[in-house]
Amino acid sequence: MRFNFKIIGSLLGILLIINGVFMLLCLPVSLFYQEGGVFPLIMSGLTSAGVGGCLWWSTRKRLNDTLSKRDGYLIVTMGWLGMSLAGTLPYIFSGAIPNFTNAFFETISGFTTTGASILNDIESVPKGILFWRSLTQWMGGMGIIVLAVAILPLLGIGGMQLFVAEAPGLRPDKLQPRITETAKRLWIIYVGLTLAEFVLLLLGGMSVYDAMNHSLTTMATGGFSTKQNSIAHYNNPYIHYVIILFMFIAGTNFTLTYFGFKGNFRKIWANEEFRVYLIGVVSMGIIVSLGLFASSDGDFEESFRNAMFQVVSIITTTGFISADFTTWTPALTILFFMFMFIGASAGSTAGGVKIVRHLLLLKNGVLELKRQIHPAAIIPVRLNEKAVSQEITSNVLAFIMIYLTIFVISTCVMGLIGVDFETALGSVATSLGNIGPGLGSVGPAHTFAHIPTTGKWFLSFLMLLGRLELFTVLILITPYFWMRN
Amino acid sequence: MRFNFKIIGSLLGILLIINGVFMLLCLPVSLFYQEGGVFPLIMSGLTSAGVGGCLWWSTRKRLNDTLSKRDGYLIVTMGWLGMSLAGTLPYIFSGAIPNFTNAFFETISGFTTTGASILNDIESVPKGILFWRSLTQWMGGMGIIVLAVAILPLLGIGGMQLFVAEAPGLRPDKLQPRITETAKRLWIIYVGLTLAEFVLLLLGGMSVYDAMNHSLTTMATGGFSTKQNSIAHYNNPYIHYVIILFMFIAGTNFTLTYFGFKGNFRKIWANEEFRVYLIGVVSMGIIVSLGLFASSDGDFEESFRNAMFQVVSIITTTGFISADFTTWTPALTILFFMFMFIGASAGSTAGGVKIVRHLLLLKNGVLELKRQIHPAAIIPVRLNEKAVSQEITSNVLAFIMIYLTIFVISTCVMGLIGVDFETALGSVATSLGNIGPGLGSVGPAHTFAHIPTTGKWFLSFLMLLGRLELFTVLILITPYFWMRN
């Protein structure tokens, strides 16, 4: 047998058990608020954990086998899909989202930390179910950390082996023990930062329930809110600034954050991607502030805050909304559309292309001009003062080109499905980049509820594709993957 | 001295003399129609030829010197700029376009074979001046043939050395004799095809004057028309089909057309880019036909003809208009916007990215997935059954990335200049791709007259950048170009 289906089944089983446990964790919330959802959550949790348990029980003996790369690709895609399927149960059982397409869209939008929603009246959904919705993002973020820091570098996806090779305790040999070790360290940071934000939001006067939800979805760069108006609901600058800070941290490479916790700030500043991220976000924030201030009648602090909030929210692919950027000026709408293609740091929970890839691309482009002048010289791209191999550069360029090709084709597909030009551009960019709000009729002031059913499935597929760095999913549909040698 | 300014001056002089001669060639038209323009054309012709003559006279002794690559870059950019500056004279002297910005926009749109126009009432312009307008495109097309087939491959721009290496009689050693030889052969084809189209249009009942103008601008993939409504003016299917055919031929690699003239059709079909071009255009035409037929109440022949016409017109970057594709359905508008990024064959007069680059990119993308599975294997991209070196692949990827980066930044710039989202996207895509019509307020039914002055200069720059395959212009603004070693 080519694939080790037993271990794949075993790992999937474990994921479904975890899924079930997290569903049951929503019970206290449901019981406390008495808004319903208790029975649906118990049913969902038991179903997910039960199916997972059976799967695990029947295949558990193979759990210590080593995984091949091919198994790895299958597990990652099937894991995200399996979680998203099982994750629909609380919505369906509770009747909060009775339609299966909508429930799946909402769940995969959660697990991929996208944050696009079909809910038109969030406040009417039982609090226990909404808590599950926030948890899907938080779990998705945990999954991404493992994926980005431990699994993708081993699979050699899109240059990830380069960007996160500095992960503490990580040596690219065997999967099993390293993943556990690395993931544990980074999860402690993830949990710690979530708690820190929770406390700071409480201090700003947010309710315990809302503070919990928003800190869960910030750290995942997810962007699900418990309010229909998202963060614009809170007319409190302090809360805005706290969330800006934590969105920025969530978009930072978690291995760098780890160094930060250890007090090694020199190492953070030595990282080129971080420098570009910090300087880029601040300068873009200032440019947008000035544009917004010039075209609105608000005061400067408000313009600055909203501009900074939206720049950080879109670039980190969180998708929280403090103000509707599509109503600012056309130039700023264009700018925000472009921001959707940036993505924050590799090794963070952010989606999208990632800054380090743009950086490599830009450096390679400039060097190509130098190579034109000196055709005989071998001029490699350098990142963090190390030469980057031609293979990795080519891989990164291929990644970006495939990303854009998918964007282009998908926009045409959405057009054929029957949405207008701006909505097509915006919905595809935001789904593929795991951001949340798009443009046009899926802009910050709207939801995805009105998108036709085929469109919702298609966008769900794009979310998965973007979240798993394209290659992981695409490789499954190439003949190379299924050929025997 | 680093640069051989004498030979640069000498060549520029010759170009300006040619410019002047062509202006004087418009005199018979002006004299025949008696609509004015005789005196302005004489003045312009003498001025351009006179300045050119002085430049040539003072530097002529260095004409047999060999050119360095650096000199080549400078000459190409300065040549196109110089021609465009001198080419404004007939418009300004005749008062047809009194504003210098507008005149420059129209002229560089001509010499770059773009076809974007600021004229809101073309039929009111004296026929002699309009003939000059068409001639700028035809001359631009001639320049492009020399550039693509002879100069760029030697400069190693964007993989051109690969795509047109099969040029008859071309060996990449010394510039001077080869250029003359190759250019002569291809110009004979260019002139021959222009004449053939002229005769066929006459047979379709077009006036001698209009047939002349339209055949000049078809072969250049330019798209300037003598009618405000472009080809939609002619309610004659025969004329539409003739122009579709010649646009398609103009978008074919001229070295292949040369083989076609020699009866070597096997060689044409063996060319991968041509096969993709032919099959792609036909299948896109059919898809658009069906979409248009389904959404309109015209008969199928009319839908097919308009669909095919617009697909060929946009993909070959000609820009003639038989119907306003932005009024079809949103999905088709999106599709046509995407078509603006294709461009026809390398070695043709078409602008844009070019099919062969997309082909290389696509192949590399698919192979990257294969490389993921077999990381140890060396898997080169193959084109026309030959392996393509890693350097050229990387150069082509860099070209496309720079193209898209410029597109993105320029769209933001146009937004800042104050046009709306769709107009910004459309005007930049059409200028950079040397197409002609854009989207929104610069769509097929409109002109560029209302774009702010800074916007016109910026779009002019983009036309030049796109026409000269980016690198030729960009390299001039890098420090590497101006450094001594």
C-alpha span between A174 and A357 (Å, rounded): 26
The pLDDT assigned to A10 comes to: 87
Question: What are the b/e assignments for A59-80, b being 16+ CB within 10 Å?
Answer: bbeeeeeebeebbbbbbbbbbb
**A156 → closest Cβ in B365, B375, B404:** B375
Name the amino acid, one letter, at A213.
Answer: N
The answer to whether the CB atoms of A390 and B395 lie below 8 A apart is no
The pLDDT assigned to B171 comes to: 44
- Give B157's contacts in chain A (Cβ within 8 Å): 372
The answer to whether the CB atoms of A397 and B402 lie below 8 A apart is no
Is A105 in contact with A448 (CB distance < 8 Å)? yes
C-alpha span between A98 and A104 (Å, rounded): 10
* ipTM, two decimals: 0.74
The answer to whether the CB atoms of A369 and B415 lie below 8 A apart is no
The answer to whether the CB atoms of B361 and A401 lie below 8 A apart is yes
Is A222 in contact with A140 (CB distance < 8 Å)? yes
The pLDDT assigned to B167 comes to: 45
Q: Which of residues 60-99 of B touch A (CB under 8 A)?
A: 69-70
The answer to whether the CB atoms of B397 and A397 lie below 8 A apart is yes
The pLDDT assigned to A149 comes to: 73
| Contact pairs from chain A to chain B, CB under 8 Å | 149
- Give B398's contacts in chain A (Cβ within 8 Å): 364-365, 368, 397
The answer to whether the CB atoms of A411 and B375 lie below 8 A apart is no
Q: Which of residues 317-336 of B touch A (CB under 8 A)?
A: 330-335
- Give B369's contacts in chain A (Cβ within 8 Å): 471, 474-475, 478, 480-481
Question: What are all long-range contacts of A257-261, with beta carbons under 8 Å and residues at least 24 apart?
Answer: A257/A189, A257/A193, A258/A168, A258/A185, A258/A186, A258/A189, A259/A168, A261/A189
Name the amino acid, one letter, at B61.
Answer: K
pLDDT, tens only, A262-292: 888 888 888 999 999 999 999 999 999 998 9
- Give B389's contacts in chain A (Cβ within 8 Å): none
Is A281 in contact with A311 (CB distance < 8 Å)? yes
pLDDT classification of B286: cutoffs 50, 70, 90: very high
- Give A332's contacts in chain B (Cβ within 8 Å): 415
Q: Walk along chain A (485 residues) and give the pLDDT tens digit of each residue.
A: 467 778 888 889 999 999 999 999 999 999 999 888 899 999 999 999 999 999 988 887 665 667 777 888 888 899 999 999 999 999 999 999 999 999 999 999 999 999 999 999 999 999 999 999 999 999 999 998 888 777 777 776 666 666 654 444 444 444 455 666 777 888 889 999 999 999 999 999 999 999 999 999 999 999 999 999 999 999 899 999 999 999 999 999 988 888 888 888 888 888 999 999 999 999 999 999 998 998 887 789 999 999 999 999 999 999 999 999 888 887 888 889 989 999 999 889 999 999 999 998 888 888 887 877 777 777 888 888 888 887 788 888 888 888 988 998 899 899 888 888 889 999 999 999 999 999 989 999 999 999 999 999 999 999 999 999 888 888 888 777 777 65
pLDDT tops 90 at residue B192: yes
pLDDT tops 50 at residue B481: yes
C-alpha span between B389 and B369 (Å, rounded): 18
Write down how long chain B is: 485
By C-alpha distance, which of A320, A283, A287 is closest to A303? A287
The pLDDT assigned to A60 comes to: 73
The answer to whether the CB atoms of A421 and B334 lie below 8 A apart is yes
pLDDT tops 50 at residue B172: no
Mean pLDDT of chain B: 87
C-alpha span between A396 and A389 (Å, rounded): 11
Q: Which residue of B has its CA nearest to A340?
A: B408
By C-alpha distance, which of A483, A403, A474 is closest to A155? A474
Write down how long chain A is: 485
The pLDDT assigned to B175 comes to: 46
**A365 → closest Cβ in B333, B401, B422:** B401
The answer to whether the CB atoms of A369 and B70 lie below 8 A apart is no
The pLDDT assigned to A299 comes to: 87
- The whole-number average pLDDT for the span B266-272 is 88
The pLDDT assigned to A167 comes to: 45
Say which residue the tokens 């040539």 belong to. B56
% of residues, chain B, pLDDT over 70: 93
C-alpha span between B106 and B224 (Å, rounded): 10
B386-387 and B382-383 strand pairing: antiparallel
- Give A361's contacts in chain B (Cβ within 8 Å): 401, 405
The pLDDT assigned to A64 comes to: 63
Interchain contact B424–A (C-beta under 8 A): yes
3-state SS class at B189: helix
The pLDDT assigned to B162 comes to: 61
pLDDT tops 90 at residue B174: no
C-alpha span between A193 and A175 (Å, rounded): 26
Lowest mean pLDDT segment, chosen from A384-388, A459-463, B140-144, B437-441: A384-388
**A471 → closest Cβ in B330, B335, B369:** B369
Q: Which residue of B has its CA nearest to A291?
A: B416
pLDDT, tens only, B20-52: 999 999 999 999 998 888 999 999 999 999 999
Is A395 in contact with A406 (CB distance < 8 Å)? no
C-alpha span between A61 and A336 (Å, rounded): 51
By C-alpha distance, which of B127, B128, B95 is closest to B27? B128
Q: Which of residues 176-235 of B touch A (CB under 8 A)?
A: none
C-alpha span between A359 and A367 (Å, rounded): 12
Write out the H or E segment, with its range, that includes residue B383. Answer: strand B382-383
**A365 → closest Cβ in B330, B398, B418:** B398
A386-387 and A382-383 strand pairing: antiparallel
- The whole-number average pLDDT for the span B375-381 is 79
The answer to whether the CB atoms of A334 and B415 lie below 8 A apart is yes
Interchain contact A476–B (C-beta under 8 A): no
More confident residue, B6 or A252: A252
- Give B419's contacts in chain A (Cβ within 8 Å): 330
